[in-house]
Amino acid sequence: MDPQTTISITEARKNIFKIVSDVEKTGARYTLTEKGKPKAVILSADEFDSWLETIEVMEDWPNYQKDIDKVHKDIKSGKYLTYPTLEETMKLSGLFLAENKAKYAVPNQIRAKRHKTTKKNSK
């Protein structure tokens, strides 16, 4: 089946179980129409969650495309070599590498602060 199929709501009603199975297994999308006009879309829960996550990222970083373009430009020019390392960035945030270097760790003060905040917010 095509990745996106347009069908009438009446047809969808008759074949809803097949449509849901198709959407879940193949990632297909269905546009449901009434009198030839699009009214709704059926897509998998995973794809829907992915769209929601994309929207959240776009809201959190409204200039993300500019940032991505800048990074691509910096990679081509070699300027990315002056970027701070992960360890430097973590140190500025109060984080550090654990002794075994295999795991990152959060200092106890930050962990305790987060725990208090979480407890307070859950009340």
Domain ranges of the chain: 4-43, 84-123
Show the tokens assigned to 28. 């297909």
pTM: 0.52
Show the tokens assigned to 4. 């996106």
With 0-12 CB in 10 A as exposed, 13-18 as middle and 19+ as buried, what is 55? exposed
- Topology of domain 4-43, per CATH? YefM-like fold (3.40.1620)
Q: pLDDT (tens digit, 0 to 9) for every residue of the chain, 123 residues total?
A: 446 899 999 999 999 999 999 999 998 999 999 999 999 999 999 999 999 998 998 888 888 889 899 999 999 999 999 999 888 888 888 877 666 555 555 556 555 555 555 555 555
